[in-house]
Amino acid sequence: MPKKIGQALATGNACKPFRDHLAVERAKSPRPSSWAQVQSDFLNAMALFDVEVIAGRASEGERQNGKGDYFNDLVAIVLETASGRTLSTRKLVPGLIFPNHNLDVTYPGGKNDIAEVLVEAKMLGTPKHPGSGKQKAEGRPGSADLLKRAKELGFKTLDLKAGFGLKISLSGGSQPAPSGDLGAWSKASRPKTYFLAGIRVASESDLKSCIEMCMNMQKVLDGVGLFAYTSNHLTVPPTSYVPASYKGTTIPSGLDFTTVVHQIGNVLASLPVVP
């Protein structure tokens, strides 16, 4: 996926595990076409990164941007391989209300193309570190920022679908205007929009909150995949940050990350190849 690599991911010392993992996956032939093929090394990279975070050796930019850019790029590698389609970033894409939405993973990528698929990939949840002195021992819960992201993406989705509906009508086509059941209208409109969340959960209650919010997002989006992981276990503050202690959690089938990534790949593969 052609995109400008963020400075934190490109040069940050704490982000080296991310760069190393992406380089390994890009060098494979064939490249991975499912999340199951990269999940173990993803967890290893997150464990190594969290060691740097806990020690105070990761900058704010690495925590907020480097981690997210890595996740975004890893998801894009899998989806491009699974679908045979080249994904792109797009800037300043107009909705009906706002003219400046940024799309991280989308297809097709031409400035004048009607977007068919949009994927938002976000990383949430951070272990306690020297810059978060007021946090509990288990760190910042993933659900603490998920509600904000859910609201942002919900509005962005509706604005983009309405905006593309206007663009379609201007070129002689048609897309129904929002009416009646808003969720049903959203799912019937372009672009098909998905949310993929990689979340470090801090407790059983944190995991439950993340699941509930992701299930609510399904009412408007075309699909939501949740990969929730934890270090050690969920009942006590984490005591180990070695890769072997990082595990994925059990997620309801409708939110299963591997399945949703597979579904997105199938949708992309069904679309015509656009140069």
Higher pLDDT, 85 or 203: 85
| pTM score, whole prediction | 0.91
Which phi and psi angles does 119 have, rounded to 5°?
A: -125, 125
- pLDDT at 217 > cutoff 50: yes
Higher pLDDT, 135 or 43: 43
- Assign 166 a pLDDT band (cuts: 50, 70, 90): confident
User: How many Cα neighbours within 13 Å face the side chain of 102?
Assistant: 3
d(CA 169, CA 75): 32
Confidence (pLDDT) at 2: 46
Higher pLDDT, 184 or 225: 225
- Assign 268 a pLDDT band (cuts: 50, 70, 90): very high
Parallel, antiparallel or unpaired: strands 223-231 and 246-248: antiparallel
Confidence (pLDDT) at 262: 98
Contacting residues for 173 by C-beta, under 8 A, at least 6 apart: none
Give tens-digit pLDDT for 64-83: 899 999 999 999 999 999 99
Give tens-digit pLDDT for 140-157: 899 999 999 999 999 999
Confidence (pLDDT) at 254: 96
Confidence (pLDDT) at 240: 56
